[in-house]
Structure 1
Amino acid sequence: MKEVEIQTLIGQCITFFEEHNYTKNRISKYKSLWKNGIVKFMKARSLILYNPAIGEEFTRTCHFNGTIRPQERESIRSIQVLDDMIALGYIRKRCFTPRFHRLDGNIGKEMERLIVHLTNLRRSSVTIGDYRLYLSEFLHHLYNSNVHHIEEIAESHIVSFVLAHPTNKVNIVSALRVLFRYWEEEHILERDFSKFFESFKVRHPERIPSFFNKEDVMLIERSVSRSSKVGKRDYAMLLLASRLGLRASDIANLKFYDIDWDNNAIKVVMQKTLQAIELPLLPEVGNAIIDYLKNGRPSSDLDQVFLSSRAPYIGATRWMVGTAINSIIVSSGVDVHMKHHGPHSLRHSLASVLLKEGSSLPVISEALGHKHTDTTMVYLRIDVQSLLKCANPVPVVADGFYTQRGGAFYE
């Protein structure tokens, strides 16, 4: 296990902080945490060389009656910083560690083979993560049903699991269909479930896309305070969603070379569809981006336009964009009751405005970067005025209808 003199290691961490624009207050906080924490802990034990095992021993003392108080969380974080520097040579940004869903037992072992197969097919990490989650939940359901071998799985187990699941029924059925098809092709399972899955289908419920009218969108945009660096960043990201309809992933991954300032255009390859689209760089959007670049963006060599607001500065993520826009909409004062209020709602709002202005579906489809016009047709559900034009008049019912057979309708 690698060991480093504690003061040398602390010096390396401080250098990293300074190079990555940590604030003086934050650096002073870490110095205090180390001085009164791990350094004091090691000095009491006459230790000079630090290694992660010593850090782990120290973190066990950061408890109060079995719980961890906020001040102890900071002490634990100071140890994580040291461990990152000694193991990686840099300090990772603080983040939540995603839960790993284990596939244990005889059935889990065969499920794991599908995960390996999907990985070899170069499926995305998101897709593989979803499969692992759904399969782990199905595995838990099987074990609760006292099923421990593949041959014991019956159609009733699949049906009961899917119907009891509160969300994502369509995606779960799709994942299970792929699992049983793989088992059949690899001769892991003798029984053929293909006919069962042909008949057992769960459909997506019809949904009306959440959207805001033009006045609400303007109110949302005006509500952003652009006096701070974060406000400048969030305003620029908001306009990319509200004025151009970009998804959160495309906003987060926007690069400097995607912006053609000479021709007032933004050219991006959309993360979801891999479609290359070109959108007009509207003056208000361009000015917001320039304001952020000049007065809000931290110094960085990254080619992503938008960065995190706290050091160490990393490129924006779609979760970062979604959280920022969600917060803006909620605090703007618009009615969000029974509505989604993230970047996608602004994408829907743009489609609504284009429909009201008489834009054709192919034009809207191209603007939103849809592969097929059929995808855009979902927005017809929110164009109430156009739908009303399609309604047939209700014919007048003659009085004789109500008085027939002695006026039975009045009895």
Structure 2
Amino acid sequence: MENNKQTIDSLLDELFLYFKNAQYHKVTVSSYRSCWNRVKDFMLDNGIKYYDRNVGKAFLKGELGDFVYGNLSDKQKSLVNRTEALYKFQSTGRIPVGGKQLPPKEFEGEIGHIIKRFISYRKETLGLAKKTVHSYTIYLHSFYLYLNNAGIRQIKDFNACSLLSYVKQMDQTASAKQHVTLNILRIFFRYLHEHGILPADYSQVVPKDSYKESDKLPSTFTDEEIKAILNAIDRGSPKGKRDYAMLLIAMRLGLRASDITGLRFENIIWERNVISIEQQKTGEPLELPLLPEIGNAIIDYLKHGRPVSKAPQCFLRAQAPYVPITYSCLGNVVVRYMRLAGINCVKRKHGPHALRHCFASALLKEKVPLPVISELLGHKNMSSSMGYLRVDLASLRECALEVPPVPLSFYNIGINNKQERRI
């Protein structure tokens, strides 16, 4: 849909028609309109006729200067998100739900182009997964911004002191993040040396760390806490009906957040009372029983809570636009009801995955064999399920073998041997 010769008035007319068709709330529309009117005034003041992404970037620079998104206030971030939404709509014909997506990581100038070539090289030669490419982009963008702020915009101005200064200012308490950053920098500088971009191999200068990933106990919650979370939900409201059904699925079936939010009508086979899905994480099929309380909760939501929509997914946003709920939104839902229930989450994970741990722990208490638990959790191999054993001390104690008492004759043999050696 991208139109590089589109006036701001034409673009805004399309946007507000989109808002109307998607049934956006008037307060939300008003907040977008306020921001976009400022962009329009900027274009009029500078004699700019057509809108494109560079116009949005120029507007933001005039408003915020050379900014780092993470350092902005909530109000400033909102300005960035709403300005980015103009280009998002212009290029895709839609606006991401919530408008809170971080702006893309852009690399400009000589060093920026070198970083982009490096990422492309690694992606093409090693066939890196999308998630890995994203990690490279995130961590190297932080490094790129640091160099920009330090006035280093050409590779010839870079030296070992620049590298060590960047490492020194890193958050030393975030050991895992620091470990990943150092590894990526080491690979990046080895690439620069091997391809003749830098004469010195600064990968040797990147400090080594002693980070070791430790196995953490899975977070879980007691039966009383689970009941308190469910009781905190207002099941009389459409949103409460949706949230109750989703949390029941997480607690009673142990589905991942991505599989709950992606659940479609076709996945619920009422005739057989089962839920049959293809797991988004593994791509493997999984079939689980449709428990009566879950089935009733889903029916209650579909009949009395779900907005009218042609979306094939079961669970939708409670406010317009009525699109499928995201897994991050489900995370916020879980946290909200834990707070309402007064659950102490200090030193405990408190998202949808913690409810998955509760499901596994409950099965262990019922003496369900580990291979069955592994199958219900949708794990590819049983080793992935072994971690759940550590949360159930009672079951672990049952696994311990009884040590038989040592006969007194054993100790007498030891004493006799010592006496014989003395003789």
TM-score by length of 2: 0.69
Is the alpha carbon distance of 1:213 and 1:138 closer, same or farther for their aligned partners in structure 2, counting shifts above 3 Å?
A: same
The one-character-per-residue Cα deviations of 1:197-253 (angstroms, maximum 9, x if unpaired) are 9x9773212311110022211221122111222111111111121111111112122
Paired position in structure 2 for 1:279: 288
- Give distance in 2, aligned partners of 1:305 and 1:150: 55
Higher mean alpha-carbon deviation, 338-347 vs 286-295, is at 286-295
Aligned residues: 381
Paired position in structure 2 for 1:134: 139
Tell me the amino acid that sits aligned with residue 328 of structure 2: W
Is the alpha carbon distance of 1:176 and 1:374 closer, same or farther for their aligned partners in structure 2, counting shifts above 3 Å?
A: farther
Paired position in structure 2 for 1:166: 174
- Give distance in 2, aligned partners of 1:219 and 1:289: 20
Is the alpha carbon distance of 1:385 and 1:83 closer, same or farther for their aligned partners in structure 2, counting shifts above 3 Å?
A: closer
The one-character-per-residue Cα deviations of 1:109-134 (angstroms, maximum 9, x if unpaired) are 54433321354466444332212222
Residue among 367, 377, 389 paired with 2:386: 377
Secondary structure in structure 2 of the residue aligned to 1:22: coil
User: Are the counterparts in 2 of residues 213 and 353 from structure 1 also a CA contact under 8 Å?
Assistant: no
Is the alpha carbon distance of 1:70 and 1:172 closer, same or farther for their aligned partners in structure 2, counting shifts above 3 Å?
A: closer
Paired position in structure 1 for 2:344: 335
The one-character-per-residue Cα deviations of 1:157-185 (angstroms, maximum 9, x if unpaired) are 69967994614255446545665776688
The one-character-per-residue Cα deviations of 1:72-100 (angstroms, maximum 9, x if unpaired) are 99999998888777766555544124244
User: Are the counterparts in 2 of residues 208 and 382 from structure 1 also a CA contact under 8 Å?
Assistant: yes
Unaligned runs of 5+ in 1: 397-411
Secondary structure in structure 2 of the residue aligned to 1:274: coil
Residue among 228, 244, 247 paired with 1:219: 228
Paired position in structure 2 for 1:21: 23
What displacement does 1:258 show? 1.9
Residue among 99, 119, 122 paired with 1:95: 99
Residue among 187, 202, 205 paired with 2:211: 202
Tell me the amino acid that sits aligned with residue 22 of structure 2: H
Secondary structure in structure 2 of the residue aligned to 1:297: coil
Paired position in structure 1 for 2:366: 357
Paired position in structure 2 for 1:234: 243
User: Are the counterparts in 2 of residues 230 and 309 from structure 1 also a CA contact under 8 Å?
Assistant: yes
- Give distance in 1, aligned partners of 2:160 and 2:86: 49
Tell me the amino acid that sits aligned with residue 118 of structure 2: L
Paired position in structure 1 for 2:414: none
Higher mean alpha-carbon deviation, 233-242 vs 383-392, is at 383-392
User: Are the counterparts in 2 of residues 220 and 332 from structure 1 also a CA contact under 8 Å?
Assistant: yes
Paired position in structure 2 for 1:408: none
Q: Report sequence identity in percent.
A: 33
Is the alpha carbon distance of 1:113 and 1:204 closer, same or farther for their aligned partners in structure 2, counting shifts above 3 Å?
A: same
Secondary structure in structure 2 of the residue aligned to 1:268: strand
Tell me the amino acid that sits aligned with residue 130 of structure 1: S
User: Are the counterparts in 1 of residues 82 and 99 from structure 2 also a CA contact under 8 Å?
Assistant: no
- Give distance in 2, aligned partners of 1:270 and 1:295: 28
Residue 114 (structure 1) aligned with residue 134 (structure 2): no
Higher mean alpha-carbon deviation, 125-134 vs 368-377, is at 125-134
- Give distance in 2, aligned partners of 1:149 and 1:392: 69
User: Are the counterparts in 2 of residues 241 and 347 from structure 1 also a CA contact under 8 Å?
Assistant: yes
Secondary structure in structure 2 of the residue aligned to 1:303: coil
What displacement does 1:357 show? 1.1
Is the alpha carbon distance of 1:196 and 1:209 closer, same or farther for their aligned partners in structure 2, counting shifts above 3 Å?
A: farther
Tell me the amino acid that sits aligned with residue 302 of structure 1: A
- Give distance in 2, aligned partners of 1:33 and 1:88: 22
- Give distance in 2, aligned partners of 1:159 and 1:17: 44
- Give distance in 1, aligned partners of 2:182 and 2:325: 33
User: Are the counterparts in 2 of residues 106 and 149 from structure 1 also a CA contact under 8 Å?
Assistant: no
Is the alpha carbon distance of 1:225 and 1:158 closer, same or farther for their aligned partners in structure 2, counting shifts above 3 Å?
A: same
User: Are the counterparts in 2 of residues 322 and 343 from structure 1 also a CA contact under 8 Å?
Assistant: yes
Is the alpha carbon distance of 1:223 and 1:122 closer, same or farther for their aligned partners in structure 2, counting shifts above 3 Å?
A: farther
Unaligned runs of 5+ in 2: 65-71, 407-423
TM-score by length of 1: 0.71
User: Are the counterparts in 1 of residues 160 and 205 from structure 2 also a CA contact under 8 Å?
Assistant: no
Paired position in structure 1 for 2:333: 324
Is the alpha carbon distance of 1:4 and 1:243 closer, same or farther for their aligned partners in structure 2, counting shifts above 3 Å?
A: same
Secondary structure in structure 1 of the residue aligned to 2:277: strand
